[in-house]
Amino acid sequence: MGRYYDIAITPAAGGAAFRTYSSYPNGQYDPGALNIEFDMPVLPNGTPSGGQTLTIEGISLQDLNQAQQFAGMNLVMKGGMMPGFPLVNPAQAGILVSGQIFQSFGNWIGTEMTLDFVLLPSTFTNDNPGNFVLDWKQGTSLADALKQTLSVAYPNMPVTVNISPNINASSDQTHFCGTLDEMAQFIGDFTEDTFKNRIEIAIQAGKVTAFDKTYQPAPIQLNFLDFIGQPTWIDSNIIQIKTVMRADLQLGSIVTMPQGLQNAPGIITTTGASLPSSNKYKSTFTGSFTVTELRHIGNFRSSDAGSWATVFNMVTNG
Residue-wise pLDDT tens digits, 103-126:
999 999 998 999 999 998 877 877
Is residue 178, in this structure, part of any structural domain at all?
A: yes
CA dihedral over 263, 278, 84, 231, signed as positive or negative:
positive
pLDDT for the residue numbered 266: 47
Average pLDDT rounded to a whole number, residues 274-280 = 51
Count: domains in the chain: 3
Last residue of a domain, one of 63, 87, 120: 120
What single DSSP character describes residue 168?
A: B
pLDDT band per the 50, 70, 90 thresholds, residue 185: very high
Average pLDDT rounded to a whole number, residues 275-280 = 51
Q: Which domain CATH number covers 196?
A: 3.55.50
Last residue of a domain, one of 159, 179, 211: 211
* Domain identity same for 112 and 140: no
Cα–Cα distance for residue pair 48/93, rounded to 1 Å: 27
- The residue type found at 255 is V
Is residue 185, in this structure, part of any structural domain at all?
A: yes
Cα–Cα distance for residue pair 21/298, rounded to 1 Å: 15
> Three-state DSSP class for 278?
helix
Query: Where in the sequence is the domain holding 57, given as residue range(s)?
Result: 3-120
* Domain identity same for 16 and 104: yes
Whether the pLDDT of residue 276 is over 60: the answer is no
Residue-wise pLDDT tens digits, 289-314:
999 999 999 999 999 989 999 999 99
* Domain identity same for 11 and 113: yes
Is residue 94, in this structure, part of any structural domain at all?
A: yes
Q: Which domain CATH number covers 248?
A: 2.40.30
* Domain identity same for 183 and 224: no
Is residue 125, in this structure, part of any structural domain at all?
A: no
Q: 10 Å Cβ neighbour count for 278?
A: 15
User: 3-state SS string over 181-211?
Assistant: HHHHHHHHHHHHHHHCCCCEEEEECCEEEEE
Q: Which residues pair with 294 in a beta bridge?
A: 42, 312
Average pLDDT rounded to a whole number, residues 259-272 = 52
Whether the pLDDT of residue 156 is over 90: the answer is no
Residue-wise pLDDT tens digits, 218-263:
999 998 888 898 889 998 889 999 999 999 999 999 999 887 555 5
Is residue 281, in this structure, part of any structural domain at all?
A: yes
* Domain identity same for 278 and 199: no
Q: 10 Å Cβ neighbour count for 170?
A: 8
pLDDT for the residue numbered 282: 63
Is residue 126, in this structure, part of any structural domain at all?
A: no
Of 62, 12, 44, 27, residue with least CA distance to 191:
44
Residues 6+ apart with CB under 8 A from 300: 3, 5, 23, 33, 34, 35, 36, 37, 308
Of 189, 248, 192, 194, residue with least CA distance to 222:
248
> Three-state DSSP class for 142?
helix
Share of the chain above pLDDT 70, in %: 90
Of 240, 219, 244, residue with least CA distance to 317:
219
* Domain identity same for 12 and 107: yes
Q: Answer left, alpha or beta for residue 222, where phi above 0 means left and psi between -120 and 50 means alpha.
A: beta
> Three-state DSSP class for 132?
strand
Is residue 127, in this structure, part of any structural domain at all?
A: no
* Domain identity same for 15 and 109: yes
Last residue of a domain, one of 182, 211, 240: 211
